Chain A
Amino acid sequence: MLRREILTIAALSLLPVVAFAQDTVKIGLILPMTGQQASTGKQIDAAVKLYQAQHGTTVAGKKVEVILKDDTSVPDVTKRLAQELVVNDKVAVLAGFGITPSAMATAPIATQAKVPEVVMAAGTSSITEASPFVVRTSFTLAQSAVPMAEWAVKNGIKRVVTMVSDYGPGIDAEKSFSDRFKAEGGTIIENLRVPMRAPDFAPVLQKAADTKADALFVFVPSGAGAQFVKQFVERGLDKGGMKLIATGDVTDDDQLAGMGDAVVGVINAHNYSANHDSALNKSYVEAFRKANGGLRPNFMSVGGYDGMHLIYEALKKTGGDASGDKLMAAMKGLAWESPRGPISIDPDTRDIVQNIYIRKVEKKDGELYNVEFATIPNVKDPVKAAKK
């Protein structure tokens, strides 16, 4: 009796768990809807809803159903939810993933169940290497940090202090910025790190001020950016001639409007600005704001929006066949115009290729925006590019 039971389990686990020839294609959307990362989850959720409102819920004859789950940014919960979505709900695609560990924890499920994992937010380079079924529509930190380093060298910045939050993405940003900056002939005076639980930036800023560098390169997770910039200005570092350069997380569109005039003039590099000048983006921003009580879409939202687009387009290509291998094959190499500009999925790495814009915070029509003034086209993830 027990033996038969065991055999059944063993047999079951050999079957790929995918819904064939069903009329509905389910997408399991796992996001942090509560907890410190809740704003990420809300932006992506809103963008996914907007995409479906604009493009309908039927594609290639199939009805697309999104099942939203809250993982509270706890990776083991993410993994369990992903497993349940695959086993119980028979989802064809897993999507979302607010933080890197959540995406990493889920990668083995994607491999085992042959279900595409569309990463819409998490930004550590190595995620796409964790499973052949991972594809990313957000960005990698190095994608922003490396162009920032190149721009800095070209614009007469010679000596830089870096300051990053002390965790995976921060260290990624620090390393990729520093390596490129040094390679281009610049000098890194010091690499400063702040603990994640760091309510007060005063000490590190004081340390940075003491170095008298030309510029301070900074990455802090979206949310801590405003405090950081304010304290930077309060310390008088801007007047002391130190430039502030950053990845775009620091001047996140989500909060930029409320940051105050202190942030005006901050130079940063990123993949998306709500101020991006294209017809598509204008209508995107307008529709997003209308649907969400005036909330401004940020770089997380386009990750969700484009992720949905990727899934829809792949389904069109396969003619509605939602099996994992076919979907993955269809996703590789897809290129389209996103609200952020032209983007594509690198067929080799399954990571996103996109323009990176150098921006400056300015006041337009009484509101603060990241205004793009230089474009580095078709940036691939520099970390993976360097490995080749």
Chain B
Amino acid sequence: MSVTASFSRRARWRLPEIVFWLLAFAALLLPPGKHLLLNEIAILALFALSLDLILGYAGIISLGHAAFFGTGAYAAGLFCKLVTPDPHTGLAVAIVVAAALGAATSLLVLRGSDLTRLMVTLAVALVLHEVANALPLWTGGADGLQGMTVGPLLGHFDFDLYGRTAYAYSLVTLFVLFLLARRIVHSPFGLSLMAIRRNPLRASALGVPNRSRLIAVYTLSAAYAGAAGALLAQTTAYVSLEVLDFQRSADVLLALIIGGTGWLYGGLAGAIAFKVLQDVLSASAPQFWMFWMGLFLVVLALVGRERLGQGVRGLLAKVMP
């Protein structure tokens, strides 16, 4: 049947995807040295993936996504300190807490222009930042949350100085959540999100309940961001106010735009490009790397990420979803 065949083609795994993940896992076997950076990349990739779910798939732009990242980080940190050092339950708790915050604040971003949403999300993150600063008994205030001793992974593997355990943990979490996201964007729910992003009026004329879908995806995205925050808290055994900082929201937005919105690998590619570039530039020019980074962004925008990436993307889009 042609229709069924067409459908099954939509979600099929392509070779480059498989290669990508094999490489990511193979990096675990590298000699120690780069796993710490890889861990940071995996966390930023997950964070960017979470932003892509709302920006690329549902059209909600956010300049305050750190609200959920930070909430997840603090939730994981406090849970580790107060309840149990086991990382897995901590991760689960962080996801639930961030998702709850996402559900609660989703009502604020249901309508409005890009500018409105930009400002509302930004304001939510800033409020949380101030709240965290105002509760030093809980969060440690500006000194950061200390005294986290994260338990071993699966009860066996300690988070060591080399960061290999950390990278393995973050990568597996990223991979599992990526699989879930991949499943979701190819589901009827994902399809309806794409319709809402393109034209909300039209989507509702097809019977799509825009509000509940947006609430659902915003909550989901918050959960993902919370997971990323929890990974950061657990692999660094430390949470500071910077997890809620404006800079963090801006960075993840930059990374996602660099990689391209609306395809799941955009956040991943962007995170790799952004972090590697930052690492290389700031190692070679600690005082002046911002200039080169800025130049890169300007050129990227002027040449047009579309045009620049069209060759590459066109090729990839054929083989990746």
Contacts and interface: CB of A to CB of B under 8 A. Distances in A.
B36 A168 contact: no
Contacts of B114: none
Given A33-B287, A76-B242, A108-B237, A12 B160 contact: yes
B40 interface: yes
B144 A13 contact: no
B306 to A, nearest CB: 30
A255 interface: no
A83 interface: yes
A24 interface: no
Interface string B106-132: 000000000000000000000000100
The contact size tier of chain B is 35 or more
Contact of A101 (B136, B241, B247, B287): B241
Contacts of B241: 101
Contact of B33 (A6, A77, A87): A87
Given A167-B133, A168-B143, A34 B236 contact: no
A190 to B, nearest CB: 18
Contacts of A69: 282-283, 286
Interface residues of A, number: 45
Given A80-B36, A87-B32, A74 B242 contact: yes
Interface string B152-177: 00001110111111000000000000
Contacts of B39: 80
A335 interface: no
Given A80-B36, A87-B32, A13 B242 contact: no
Most buried by A among B39, B240, B245, B247: B240
B142 A167 contact: yes
B144 A112 contact: no
Contacts of A196: 133
B137 to A, nearest CB: 12
A38 B287 CA distance: 9
Contact of A13 (B29, B36, B136, B162): B162
A166 interface: yes
A10 B245 CA distance: 35
- Most A CB atoms within 10 A — which of B133, B282, B290? B282
B146 interface: yes
Contact of B157 (A6, A80, A108, A109): A6
Interface in A6-22: 6, 9-10, 12-13, 17
Interface in A92-124: 100-101, 104-105, 108-109, 112-113, 124
A156 interface: no
A20 B29 CA distance: 26
B144 A101 contact: yes
A104 B146 CA distance: 8
Contacts of B164: 9
A195 interface: yes
A75 B70 CA distance: 14
Contacts of B165: 9
A125 to B, nearest CB: 10
The 3 closest A-B pairs by CB, nearest first: A167-B142, A13-B160, A168-B142
Given A68-B286, A84-B37, A169-B142, 18 more contacts: A9-B162, A31-B286, A34-B287, A38-B287, A70-B282, A74-B242, A74-B247, A75-B240, A75-B242, A76-B232, A76-B240, A88-B33, A101-B143, A101-B242, A104-B143, A112-B161, A124-B143, A168-B143
Interface of B: 29, 32-33, 36-37, 39-40, 130, 133-134, 136, 141-144, 146, 156-158, 160-165, 232, 236-238, 240-243, 245, 247, 282-283, 286-287, 289-290
Interface of A: 5-6, 9-10, 12-13, 17, 31, 33-34, 38, 42, 68-70, 73-77, 79-80, 83-84, 86-88, 100-101, 104-105, 108-109, 112-113, 124, 126, 130, 166-169, 171, 195-196
